[in-house]
Amino acid sequence: MECEGRTSRLDRERVERLGSPLARRVELYAEVSSTQERARELAREGAPHGTLVVAGVQTGGRGRLGRAWSSPAGGLWMSLVLRPEIPATHAPRITLAAAVGVAKALREMGVEAEIKWPNDLLVGGRKVCGILAEAGFGRSGELEFAVLGVGINANVDPASVEGLGGTSLRAELGREVDLVRLLAAMLGGLEVELARLNDFEAIASDWRSLSCTLGRRVRVRRAGGVVEGLAVDLGPDGELVLETGDGRVALFEGEVERLR
């Protein structure tokens, strides 16, 4: 299958030739409901580490916190089956490592990507990439697999994604991006970061330098209500540490809004 466009073509041969350990097995779709759902199915069936599902269009793309993820033609929509050898308690590191790996890959392509906690990638304050990491646990609570979904607004119209809050690589760079090169850069970045999941401080330190959340006053909406404060650190389990009027609070989920 080949997806539209010339430089933006996602053709099977080029994807298979990448030779990445994170693309040992590849499923490429012109259109699929959600690469995340397909990769999860494959993981449950025993697909190996490095099984990659990529699609030109998703008709039922999923985002964080149960939201829909707009996935028109021109974007890079992919999910990876991972089987990292880490304790289940370290699973949250996957999402932080992924944000660092993809941010570095985008920077190599000339886009000044920054990380908004927990793992949104922004350029100039606008979202260019979303990351969704989901874990599958075995009977004894061990981490059996993780499915890492990455959606990059590559060659799409910013108006077609995330309403007014989104941007795309094409809009930022002023040119079309070669989707297979982008995929290669991303898999390269992910490979490096995922290889050091057991060294949380290394990942956290890079995360902190790439973050546009730390040092800012923020409002976080989460299931338990709204909290405001100064974002002061990233905790050992990926939590955002806020300095509030009532002391320090650690947040494990939520949507961050930066305040002036």
Residue of closest CB approach to ligand BTN: 130
Backbone angles phi, psi at 233, to 5 degrees: -165, 170
Asked if 120 interacts with ligand BTN (CB under 6 A), we say yes
29 neighbors 53 (Cβ within 8 angstroms): yes
What is d(CA 92, CA 138) in angstroms, rounded to the nearest whole number? Answer: 16
The residues with which 29 forms a beta bridge, in sequence order, are 55
| CA neighbor of 83 nearest in space, from 119, 54, 47 | 47
Asked if 118 interacts with ligand BTN (CB under 6 A), we say no
**Which CB atom, from 61 or from 84, has the smaller least distance to ligand BTN?**
61
- From the list 59-67, 85-93, 203-211, 231-239, the region that binds ligand BTN by CB under 6 A is 59-67
Structure tokens at 249: 């609070």
Asked if 78 interacts with ligand BTN (CB under 6 A), we say yes
Structure tokens at 6: 């010339």
What is d(CA 190, CA 87) in angstroms, rounded to the nearest whole number? Answer: 19
Asked if 35 interacts with ligand BTN (CB under 6 A), we say yes
Q: Which of 50, 56, 118, 149 binds ligand BTN (CB under 6 A)?
A: 149
Asked if 77 interacts with ligand BTN (CB under 6 A), we say yes
- From the list 19-27, 70-78, 110-118, 175-183, the region that binds ligand BTN by CB under 6 A is 70-78
> Is the link from the previous residue into 118 a cis peptide, with omega within 30 of 0?
yes
Asked if 51 interacts with ligand BTN (CB under 6 A), we say no
Asked if 154 interacts with ligand BTN (CB under 6 A), we say no
Backbone angles phi, psi at 137, to 5 degrees: -110, 150
Return the half-sphere exposure (C-beta side, CA atoms, 13 A cut-off) of residue 255: 9
Asked if 63 interacts with ligand BTN (CB under 6 A), we say yes
What is d(CA 176, CA 169) in angstroms, rounded to the nearest whole number? Answer: 8
Q: Which of 51, 70, 79, 153 binds ligand BTN (CB under 6 A)?
A: 79
**Least separation in angstroms between CB 201 and ligand BTN:** 25
**Least separation in angstroms between CB 29 and ligand BTN:** 11
**Least separation in angstroms between CB 215 and ligand BTN:** 22
Q: Which of 115, 132, 169, 194 binds ligand BTN (CB under 6 A)?
A: 132
Return the half-sphere exposure (C-beta side, CA atoms, 13 A cut-off) of residue 195: 8
**Least separation in angstroms between CB 37 and ligand BTN:** 7
Asked if 50 interacts with ligand BTN (CB under 6 A), we say no
What is d(CA 249, CA 260) in angstroms, rounded to the nearest whole number? Answer: 20
39 neighbors 81 (Cβ within 8 angstroms): yes
Angle at 54 between CA 95 and CA 99, to 5 degrees: 20
Number of residues that bind ligand BTN (CB under 6 A): 21
Sites of contact with ligand BTN (CB under 6 A):
34-36, 58, 61-64, 67, 69, 71, 77-79, 120, 130-132, 149-151
